[in-house]
């Protein structure tokens, strides 16, 4: 069984994330959406809410699992025996940042990173943009899956 993790903070999950996960399950038998916990980061949504948003968005897709972890992503991959990391790329800046992380992960382990380009229709969306729209009482519902809209 080919398994991949899709790591991130998902604060909150966006339509861009949703698209990468949907396309990821066409490539892998299982995609584990892995919510990283960083005690130094301040989140808008609780860990429980972020996990529920993702679980609800994929409630009819048994090949998508949601887990949380702390520490290095490659260490988490080793612990749960997952050989692939799935990442989405929106722009050249994402590529440069993700390339450095992928090279580091390969140096630390045998974990392979698979990149998917985001769909043109979602490439401008980021969680930080969504949070800013929410903070300023804008219509964020066009940027996130239905599961986040009910919040």
Which residues are the active-site residues? 17, 41, 90, 127
Q: Which residue, among 84, 31, 40, has the nearest Cα to 61 in the 3D structure? A: 31
Cis peptide before 12 (omega within 30 of 0): yes
The DSSP annotation for 68-109 comes to EEES-HHHHHHHHT--EEEEEE-SHHHHHHHHHHHHHHHHHS
Are the beta carbons of 128 and 12 closer than 8 angstroms? no
DSSP E strands, the chain: 3-8, 30-37, 64-70, 84-89, 112-117
Cβ–Cβ under 8 Å, residues 54 and 18: no
């Amino acid at each position: 069984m080919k398994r991949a993790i899709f790591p991130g903070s998902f604060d909150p999950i966006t339509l861009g994330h949703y698209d990468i996960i949907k396309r990821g399950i066409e490539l892998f038998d299982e995609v584990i959406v892995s919510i990283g916990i960083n005690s130094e980061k301040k989140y808008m949504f609780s860990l429980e809410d972020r996990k529920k948003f993702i679980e609800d968005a994929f409630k009819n897709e048994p090949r998508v699992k949601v887990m949380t972890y702390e520490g290095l992503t490659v260490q988490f991959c080793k612990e749960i025996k997952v050989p692939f990391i799935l990442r989405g790329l929106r722009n050249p800046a994402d590529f440069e940042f993700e390339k450095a992380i992928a090279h580091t992960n390969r140096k630390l382990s045998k974990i392979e990173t698979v990149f998917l380009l985001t769909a043109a229709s979602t490439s401008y969306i980021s969680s930080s943009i969504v949070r800013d729209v929410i903070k300023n009482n804008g219509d964020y519902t066009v940027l996130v899956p239905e599961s986040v809209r009910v919040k």
